[in-house]
Structure 1
């Protein structure tokens, strides 16, 4: 039996330039593991044949991947996939408060993979959150919250831009308002204040980076970023934290684990 493939509409063809399409195929191979860290990319001759492209077009595609920090190489040498570039993030691993004496769960999770992680505080101030954060925290259109924003780095390269918002009724008069790191992270402090985290809900979307995100994460193209809105609830389903986390979409994948129902 022959299956007929529906004909594509005239406006549905891939309108990207050839070098962008070549880079997209190679990028997918890197992210899927088909082209593993430290492994060589196909040679220029192989790529020109595979994509029916000129040498200049292939080199332009490879330069895109170099600019995105996915591959390394120089003229006349083999181009290889960078080590530790594509990372898997397990959101559940960073949810629970850190035990006494432990580092923040996010930093500990990064160290588990043999990388050095650190965070830099960017701002601590009362601020008007984005609309979806206001809705999550039950704030009015002109409602304010305490903002704690930071940049997370892995091996001194920007990994994630984080903006956490807290109801002022909870945050005022606490160490959350200080421009310094909180030992063990805010989950520990919230629990000590009588607001133990009971439930976290993540909403993940892919978006084109804003100017702020582009610069903070040192992006080199308009590839989508992964934006996660995480809302944390305490007893009686009261929202106590809403965090917007943004990371480069071509460098990270998100892994969730749950038992079958």
Structure 2
């Protein structure tokens, strides 16, 4: 499209985004637009067709006039940005994506997804994302993690776009964000184990080789110390989330030996490793919960299928997503959501009571 049609489309788009032309409003007829912009009918038609492709404008019945779409993208299209494909790295991200897709089917919010730069900005999906942001075809951006890879780009710098995210307090500066409170997960998990008389506790964390492991380990050890539990460094192990089968071997090693010399409680602090870790536990021949009590992280409504009985404690992903989308709406309407909000862990029974349903098992 040449410069003049782009300029006309941009000005009409701004009229729509600003509310001067609200959803359902009729656009001026082609003749009026030709006069307003001192342009030919062909030029005006090209601009309107561009807005139709973007979802801002629809054509009336029998081609009688053009109207602002009932659900224009700047009010209904939410973009969820992941560092990578969730199926490759994170069960939490996968559940978040699936819940967004379901919310899109059950509400007037529409979600689409971006799966990271992988160190490159010359990829088509990134160019499409930048164009969506520049043309304000998004109600807002929801970051599933930090956004360092977008520094100095329109994704973070374009004014007028609501942005929210899930990140630690020091990440996403200036962007309202939720933080998954793993300290509360460890506190609840330890309370379950202590209530069953377990004192010799092992913890299996998930990480990648480049992750900072110190904070999550510190939170776990602090929760154990607060309950008078001994911290055995050999019983706190990290497994690579990209190689979950390593969890199977690690659990077998942790549980090898006489009863008095091995853990009697196990916390699986990463749901990516649950299937492999519990298969390894089953292979030891130990009985749960008779010989060993297991507490596993869950991202509700999904509880990853385990090979042995486990107690599930985790986070309410639908509630988190709804909070983030609501914050986007508040920002769009001039509101001020919290700058930072911590999300506490809940038990499976609490989740059932909250939604009057049983979490899905996979």
TM range (shorter): 0.3 to 0.5
Structure with bigger helix share is: 2
Radius of gyration: which is bigger? Answer: 2
Report the TM-score, using the length of structure 1 for normalisation.
0.41
